[in-house]
Every structure is written in C-alpha cells, then in structure tokens.
Amino acid sequence: MPSESDAQQAPARPDERLGVPLGMQPTRDGWTWWPSRVRWRSYLVLGLSLDLLFLVVYGGANLINQGRSDHLQLYLPWEADLPLVPAFIYVYFSIFLLFVLPPFALGVPSLRRLAGQLGLATLIAGAVFVAVPTTIGFVSPAHDLELPMPFLLITRFDLPYNLVPSLHVVYGTLTSLALLRPSPGWARVLLSVWLCLMCGSVVLVQQHHLLDVAGGLLLALLVRRFGETRSR
C-alpha cells in the first residue's frame, strides 16, 4: 500500500504540471473558453481544405447539372405546397455558428476525424448529385423584396440542383454528433434540438425536400459509422 510520502512524490500529469485545464490540451476532447493555438491551427487548415473541396465538388456538380435536361423530381406532389417560413432562414444559416464550435470542444485527433468524415461525405454526395440529377419543386421567390436579405442571397445565387442528399443536413449532423461526446447533458439536448430545427429549416425555406433530408441523415450516419469502424 503506497505511503503518504510516495503519494507526495508521485509525478504530476502533464496537464497538472502545465496548469492547463484538460479542455485546453490540444489532443484532448473537452470544452474550453478559448482553444489552444494548436487546435486553432488544425481547425483553420482543415476548414480551408474542406471549403476548397466543397467549392470544387458542389460547384462542379451544379455546373454539370445546369446543362442537363434529365432532372428527376424526387418529391411527393403535396411537398410543393408546403409553406415558406422566412423566419427559418436564420435557423438555416445558424449552421455557420455550429461550424465555429468544433475547436472549442474537440482535440486535434477528433478535429481530423471530423474533417475526414466531412470530406468523404462531400465526395460521396457529389457523385450522387451527378449520377442522380434532380431539380426542386418549389417556385423560387427570388424577386420577393419583402423577404429577409439572407433569404434573397441563397435564392438568387444557389442553383436548384444538388438536392439529394442535403449537404446542409450532412454537415450539420456530422458536426453535431462530434460535439455530443464531450458535451454535458444539457448541451447534448441543446445540440439535438438545434439539429432537428436545422433539418426542418431546409424544407421550410424551400431549399430541399423530405427525401433530401432523409438522404442527408443516412449519409451522415453511414460515414460516421465507417469512420468509427476504421479508427478501432
């Protein structure tokens, strides 16, 4: 049985010697008020790489599908009559706030894992966009000047293709699931509700149909399962 003197002489853990909370350790998961420079650097490098991949894949698929005439209408007739709820555009764009959170909660290994999942999902979705060209069933309200400005931006500049699966749902789901693990109970509830609202927002702002949402959820879960299987 160790004596009191042995306990006093036991070496401190690295995080105790440095006096740095666990959440600030670059390789550990855990929420912190401000991430370490290592976390920030990894987050920025990975984020810029994903942005470039998204622009190439999503933009390229849009250009390809724009010149095609064989678009499928993968939605039920009654979906085209679903109401437009302009206020949900703020929920829709709240995904950008979600994108800022990973370095505050995830260590570098988890950031890399999440980036790999997002990148793989982007490539798979891009292949589906080209293989299964679709078009949206809503009439674009791009010229309705009474709508909030963010709404006008997406209706004027985003083409009505690249629907199934919804990358908005894919990215929101993968990011939310990554943040759940190091989060306390109340934060898990908040993240879950936030994700549900974002999934609903893509339909309520008439950017996607129900199949797009289901496809996005399925792709996110499959990619995450694949990533977890490989990491074992």
Q: How big is the chain, counted in residues?
A: 232
Distance from C-alpha of 124 to C-alpha of 48, rounded to nearest angstrom: 19
Classify residue 30 as left (phi > 0), alpha (psi -120 to 50) or beta: left
pLDDT digits (tens, 9 = 90+) for 58-115: 999 999 999 888 899 999 999 989 999 988 999 999 999 999 999 999 999 999 999 9
Domain boundaries in the chain?
38-231
Classify residue 164 as left (phi > 0), alpha (psi -120 to 50) or beta: beta
Of residues 119 and 229, more confidently modeled: 119
pLDDT digits (tens, 9 = 90+) for 32-42: 999 999 999 99
> Residue 104: CB partners within 8 Å, gap ≥ 6?
31, 32, 33, 34, 35
Distance from C-alpha of 225 to C-alpha of 98, rounded to nearest angstrom: 21
pTM over 0.75: yes
> Residue 170: CB partners within 8 Å, gap ≥ 6?
118, 121, 125, 216, 219, 220, 223
Identify the residue whose tokens are 């009439």.
Answer: 139
Identify the residue whose tokens are 């909660």.
Answer: 105
Q: For residue 231, what pLDDT is reported?
A: 65
Q: For residue 11, what pLDDT is reported?
A: 47
Of residues 123 and 21, more confidently modeled: 123
As a 3-state breakdown, the chain gives helix, strand, coil percent values, each rounded to 5, of: 65, 0, 30
Q: For residue 96, what pLDDT is reported?
A: 97
pLDDT digits (tens, 9 = 90+) for 180-230: 999 999 999 999 999 999 999 999 999 999 999 999 999 999 999 998 777
Q: For residue 65, what pLDDT is reported?
A: 93
pLDDT digits (tens, 9 = 90+) for 145-179: 577 777 777 866 678 899 999 999 999 999 999 99
Q: Comparing 13-22, 46-55, 65-74, which segment has the lowest mean pLDDT?
A: 13-22
